[in-house]
Structure 1
Amino acid sequence: MREEDFYEKTLHREMIFKGRVIEVAVDEVVLADGTQAQRELVFHHGAVGIVPVTSENNIILVKQFRKPIERTLVEIPAGKIEKNEHNPIEVARRELEEETGLGCQSLEEIFDVALSPGFSNERMIIYLATGLVQIEQPKGQDEDERIELLEVTLDEAKAMITSKEINDSKTIMAIQYLELNMK
Structure 2
Amino acid sequence: MPDDTGGEDDADARDDIAWETTDSDVAYTCPGFDIVRDEVVLPDGTESDYDYLDDDPAVVVLPFTPEGDVVVIEEWRQAVKRVSRGLPAGSVEADDVDLAAAARRELEEETGYEADALRALTTIEPANGISNAVHHVFVAEGCTPTGERDLDFNESIRVDETTPAALRDAVREGTCRDGRTALALLYYEAFEA
Q: Secondary structure at the match of 1:4?
A: coil
Number of the residue aligned with 2:36:
25
* Contact 2:33 2:54 (8 Å CA) reproduced: yes
Describe how 1:76-155 pairs up with structure 2 within 5 A: 76-83=87-94, 85=96, 87-135=98-146, 138-155=148-165
Number of the residue aligned with 2:167:
157
1:28 positional shift: 1.4
* Contact 2:26 2:37 (8 Å CA) reproduced: yes
Amino acid at match of 1:10: T
* Contact 1:62 1:150 (8 Å CA) reproduced: yes
TM-score, length-scaled by structure 2: 0.85
Identify unmatched segments of 5+ residues in structure 2. Answer: 1-11
Deviations along 1:36-88, one digit per CA (max 9) or x if unpaired, are: 22110221111111000112211111001111111110001111123554622
Out of 75-84 and 22-31, give the one that drifted further: 75-84
Out of 140-149 and 87-96, give the one that drifted further: 140-149
Out of 8-17 and 80-89, give the one that drifted further: 80-89
1:55 to 66, 74, 78: 66
4+ residue runs of structure 1 moved beyond 4 angstroms? 83-86
Number of the residue aligned with 2:177:
167
Query: What is the alpha-carbon distance in structure 2 between the residues aligned to residue 122 and residue 51 of structure 1?
Result: 19
TM-score, length-scaled by structure 1: 0.89
Structure showing the higher strand proportion among its residues:
1
Distance change (3 Å), C-alpha of 1:151 and 1:139: closer
Number of the residue aligned with 2:3:
none
Identify unmatched segments of 5+ residues in structure 1. Answer: none
Deviations along 1:65-113, one digit per CA (max 9) or x if unpaired, are: 1111111100011111235546221111111001111111211110111
Amino acid at match of 1:81: V
Query: What is the alpha-carbon distance in structure 1 between the residues aligned to residue 138 and residue 128 of structure 2?
Result: 21
1:25 positional shift: 1.8
